[in-house]
Structures are given as structure tokens and as C-alpha cells.
């Protein structure tokens, strides 16, 4: 009995010292803590990221696809990346749609004459030159629209649908015009997709169904949508005049902007970061998405400043035409098809730059475990949560094609209050928020580029 126990103890001891143990946070992540701390400290040391965002939005303003402002901003970004010392900085051509808003107005005729704020929906057709004047029917769902089909023909339909979340509510903006047109409506108004604000309409794209008449679509404020609903409930006739010059010109030449920090050992393996550089035209596109572009770009600049060159290449991409076409994301996929299998991960920042909260992640369980461990380095920033799914409109085409793990930069803030509105300016973003978000992205990207993650 004594000998059996002794031999067993010796065997266990030898096994303990000779068999590799599974990696844990304590035996691999600690090697990256000094670099993480340096990146965070350097980012928080100055307001460089906020000042760069201010320069973008102050100098170029809104950057709608096909506009001169977007192309000037793209050329500026190329020059600035070169000043930062990034590698392989260049533009990659993408043809984009050129939708022109033109002049637009909405006037309440009955029960009282009054101009109302509105924003035409992106990709909408315009009205006749004389405008459209008609009675308004208010519905709160697609089911109610169908139930009142007999009342729709020749009228303007208002979808007054309360905002719950973006995914559930945006369908009315995207498909509402075609659904109403099937029943004979001549135009559609939608309650803005976002929380009730300060009577601010929200724009955004609509999508016309094939084989259905294209009718104008526009957004009004939540306050005015509720007013119309109350008038209808009281049996009061609502009549408006809608005028929109919206139209498409021929497709226009645009570009994705690409800059690299070349990896020191595995330069052909790539971690991509980025956001979309185009924006809607009412505001300055600060949160959506110049801020996302700047904080991902800043991650590379921080590594460069600190001479922290990871094993793998870290790439920033400023995508064009996310808002009303998605051609920048598709263009990157098509231009880099041969090297997509060497992409280790792709991270998109397109949810605002408020207080950082972490990252969403889509990938293998093993990769999730690695990313979760890395996120532990971000506890001081409040950015250590890893959510159930990650992705983004610009990285999804490439990631889907090559099964690349995806991360989405996540924040805590009332993003949809200002989303696609005139209120999307840098006034809603603090220097600390820019610095903290850039730091979180820099740490996550640096460590992924150092250790890699399983697909």
C-alpha cells in the first residue's frame, strides 16, 4: 500500500512538471500587460484623437457618397496617414452611387398651415416639381396598413411606429414606401428611427422593391408623428404638401483608404480595423462614423509612436459608401480576395464613440476565449465585456467570404438619439471618450496581432 501510494505520488509529480498545461490568463497574458499599459497611458496623455476628429468634421462637414466633401476628406486622410508614418498608405477605387437630396419641405395644410421639419430618406425619388398635396393616413404597423388598405389609395401614409430597437424599427423606414405603394399610396412619411429627441428628424436609406412603383419617402420627428396620430384619433382631417427634389446622378468615383503597420515577423497575416468615412448629410457625421474611423486609425498611430510593432500586420481601412450602398465593404473584399485567408481578424467601429464598454465577437470558441482574456486588460477603461456577436456592414463581406473572426467596437451611450440627424456633431463626444476608445481598440488589436486567434 505504501509503495503504490509513493509511486503514484511520484508519477503525478513528474506529469505535473513535464506535461504542458492549458494556457491560462496568468501564464500568457501577463507578458502583454506592459504594452497594454503603455498604449492606454499614451492615449490618455493627450486629446490627439479628439482634435483629429474635430479637424475632420470642422473642415469637411458631412461626407455623403459622391460628394466633393467626401473626396477631399479622403485625400486629407491619405496625407495624414503618411505623416503618421504608416506603411503602404493608398487609396483603392470604388464606384459609388450619387444620391442628391436637393431642396425639400413639408407643410401642414389642414387643420392649420405650418411648416414642419423633415428629412428625405436616402435613395428616395423626388416629388413632381409642384409637390404632392394629399390627406394623411396614420398607421402603427404593417398589419394596420394592410387592414386599412381601402383608405390608402391616393394618400400619404405615415408610419408612426415607436422606437424599440434599431433592428425592429428600421424595417418601416427601409420597406415602408414600397409596402404602401403596393396599396396605392403616393408618398410615405415615417416616424424617425430613434428615441424622441428635440424634434429632430432622422434620415437613412430606403430600399425599393422590384416591380413596385417608387414613391417618395421622408422622415418626420417623433413629436410631429405623435401629433398626427392624436389628430387622427380625434377625427381631424390631416392634409400636407410634400416637396422633394431628391434624385440620383451617375455613379461617382470614390475610394477606400488603407494604411498598415507592417508586422515584424508575420507581415502577410493581417488584423483589420476600421469604420466608414462617408456619412449622411444633415449633421457632421461625427459619431456615425468619423469617430469610429479616427479611433481605429489612432490605434495604429499609438503603436507607431510607442514603437510597438506586433508580429502581424495591423491595417486600418476607412471604408466609403456604407450609408447608402455598402460598396466600400464589398470593394475591399473584391480587391483583397487572394489575401483574405491570411486575415486573422476584422474589427469595425460603427456604433458611436461614447463610453467604451467592450467588443462584440463572432468566431470560434477558442478565439472567443482568447479575446475574452485580452479584454481583461481593459478593465480600467470599462471595456472588458465581450458580447455574443460581432461584425459590421463594412467587414461582413470579407469576413463572410473567408470565415474571418469579427469584432464590433461597443460603447454605452444614446447613439440612436442623434443617429442620422443634424445633431451628430463633435459636441456630443468628449476628448476622454475618444482617448479611451482608441486605447481599448489599440490594446485589443495589438495583442491579437501578437498572439493570433483561432478561426
Element (H, E) at 356: strand 355-362
Distance CA 87, CA 91 (A): 13
- The pLDDT of residue 37: 98
Q: Give dist(CA 28, CA 34) in Å, integer.
A: 13
Q: How confident is the model at residue 423 (pLDDT cuts 50, 70, 90)?
A: very high
Q: What are phi and psi of 131, to 5 degrees?
A: 85, 180
At 19 the pLDDT is 32
Residues 8 and 57: their CA atoms lie apart, in Å, by: 70
Q: How many CB atoms lie within 10 A of CB 341?
A: 12
Q: What is the pLDDT of residues 290-322, one digit of tens each?
A: 999 999 999 999 999 999 999 999 999 999 999
Least trusted range by pLDDT, from 13-27, 137-151, 250-264: 13-27
**Residue 14's pLDDT is what?**
37
pLDDT the model gives residue 26 = 54
Q: What share of the chain is helix, strand, coil (3-state, %, to 5)?
A: 40, 25, 35
Query: What's the rounded Cα separation, in Å, for the pair 54 and 426?
Result: 7
pLDDT at 8: 38
H or E, element range at 261: strand 247-261
Mean pLDDT computed over 128-132 = 98
Average pLDDT over residues 371-381: 98
**Cell numbers at 168, concatenated:** 425592429
Whether the predicted pLDDT of 34 surpasses 50:
yes
pLDDT digits (tens, 9 = 90+) for 396-422: 999 999 999 999 999 999 999 999 999
Residue 24's pLDDT is 52
Query: Which residues, including other chains, have CB under 8 Å from residue 129's CB and lie 6 or more apart?
Result: none
Give the Cα separation of 225 and 192 in Å (integer).
Answer: 9
Model confidence at 2: pLDDT above 70? no
Rounded to whole angstroms, how far apart are CA atoms 330 and 260? 20
Q: How far apart are CA 455 and CA 453, in angstroms?
A: 6
Reported as a pLDDT band with limits 50, 70 and 90, residue 12 is very low
Across the range 272-294, mean pLDDT stands at 98
Mean pLDDT of 21-27: 51
228 vs 138: CA distance, rounded Å: 7
- Output the nine-digit C-alpha cell for 100: 442628391
Task: Tell me the per-residue pLDDT of 198-255, one tens digit each, with 9 for 90 and over.
Answer: 999 999 999 999 999 999 999 999 999 999 999 999 999 999 999 999 999 999 999 9
pLDDT of residue 254: 98
User: What pLDDT score does 4 carry?
Assistant: 37
Q: Is 450 noted as a catalytic residue in this protein?
A: no
pLDDT at position 455: 86
- The pTM of the full predicted model, rounded to 2 decimals, is 0.93
Residues 6 or more apart whose CB falls under 8 angstroms from that of 262 comprise 87, 88, 309, 313
What is the pLDDT of the chain when averaged over all its residues?
94
Helices and strands (H and E) in the chain: how many: 14, 16
- What distance lies between CA 330 and its chain's CA centroid? 15
Q: Among 71, 298, 322, 348, which one carries the catalytic annotation?
A: 322
pLDDT of 280 over the 70 cut = yes
Q: Which helix (H) or strand (E) holds 184?
A: none
65: which residues sit within 8 A by CB, 6+ positions away? Answer: 96, 97, 98, 99, 252, 254, 278, 320, 321, 323, 324, 325
CA of residue 291 relative to chain centroid, distance = 10
Backbone angles phi, psi at 83, to 5 degrees: -65, -35
CA distance 293 to 53: 9
Amino acid at each position: 500500500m505504501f509503495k503504490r501510494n509513493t509511486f503514484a505520488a511520484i508519477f503525478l509529480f513528474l506529469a505535473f512538471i513535464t506535461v504542458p498545461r492549458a494556457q491560462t490568463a496568468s501564464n500568457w497574458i501577463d507578458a502583454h500587460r506592459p504594452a497594454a499599459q503603455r498604449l492606454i497611458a499614451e492615449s490618455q496623455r493627450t486629446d490627439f484623437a479628439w482634435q483629429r476628429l474635430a479637424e475632420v468634421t470642422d473642415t469637411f462637414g458631412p461626407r455623403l457618397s459622391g460628394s466633393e466633401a467626401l473626396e477631399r476628406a479622403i485625400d486629407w486622410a491619405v496625407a495624414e496617414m503618411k505623416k503618421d508614418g504608416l506603411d503602404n498608405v493608398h487609396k483603392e477605387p470604388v464606384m459609388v452611387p450619387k444620391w442628391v437630396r436637393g431642396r425639400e419641405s413639408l407643410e401642414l395644410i389642414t387643420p392649420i398651415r405650418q411648416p414642419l421639419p423633415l428629412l428625405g430618406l436616402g435613395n428616395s425619388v423626388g416629388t413632381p416639381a409642384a409637390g404632392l398635396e394629399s390627406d394623411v393616413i396614420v398607421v402603427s404597423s404593417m398589419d394596420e396598413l394592410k387592414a386599412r388598405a381601402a383608405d390608402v389609395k391616393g394618400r400619404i401614409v405615415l408610419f408612426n411606429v415607436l422606437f424599440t430597437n434599431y433592428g425592429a424599427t428600421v424595417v418601416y423606414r427601409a420597406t415602408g414606401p414600397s409596402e404602401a405603394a403596393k396599396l396605392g399610396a403616393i408618398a410615405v412619411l415615417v416616424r424617425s428611427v430613434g428615441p424622441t429627441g428635440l424634434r429632430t428628424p432622422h434620415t437613412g436609406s430606403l430600399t425599393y422593391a422590384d416591380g413596385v412603383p417608387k414613391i417618395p419617402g421622408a422622415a418626420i420627428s417623433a413629436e410631429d408623428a405623435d401629433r398626427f396620430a392624436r389628430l387622427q384619433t380625434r377625427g381631424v382631417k390631416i392634409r400636407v404638401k410634400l416637396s422633394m427634389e431628391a434624385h440620383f446622378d451617375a455613379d461617382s468615383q470614390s475610394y477606400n483608404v488603407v494604411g498598415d503597420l507592417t508586422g515584424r515577423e508575420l507581415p502577410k497575416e493581417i488584423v483589420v480595423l476600421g469604420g466608414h468615412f462617408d456619412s449622411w448629410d444633415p449633421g457632421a457625421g461625427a459619431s456615425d462614423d468619423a469617430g469610429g474611423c479616427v479611433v481605429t486609425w489612432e490605434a495604429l498611430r499609438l503603436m507607431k509612436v510607442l514603437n510597438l510593432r506586433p508580429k502581424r500586420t495591423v491595417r486600418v481601412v476607412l471604408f466609403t459608401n456604407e450609408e447608402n450602398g455598402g460598396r466600400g465593404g464589398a470593394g475591399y473584399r473584391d480587391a483583397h480576395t487572394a489575401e483574405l485567408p491570411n486575415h486573422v481578424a476584422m474589427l469595425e467601429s460603427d456604433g458611436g464613440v461614447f463610453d467604451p464598454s467592450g467588443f462584440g465577437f463572432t468566431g470560434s470558441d477558442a478565439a472567443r476565449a482568447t479575446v475574452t482574456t485580452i479584454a481583461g486588460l481593459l478593465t480600467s477603461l470599462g471595456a472588458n465585456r465581450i458580447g455574443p456577436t460581432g461584425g459590421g456592414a463594412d467587414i461582413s463581406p470579407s469576413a463572410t467570404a473567408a470565415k474571418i473572426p469579427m469584432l464590433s467596437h461597443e460603447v454605452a451611450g444614446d447613439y440612436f438619439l442623434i443617429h442620422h440627424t443634424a445633431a451628430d456633431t463633435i459636441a456630443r463626444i468628449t476628448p476622454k471618450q475618444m482617448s479611451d476608445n482608441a486605447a481599448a481598440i489599440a490594446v485589443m488589436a495589438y495583442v491579437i496581432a501578437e498572439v493570433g486567434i483561432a478561426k
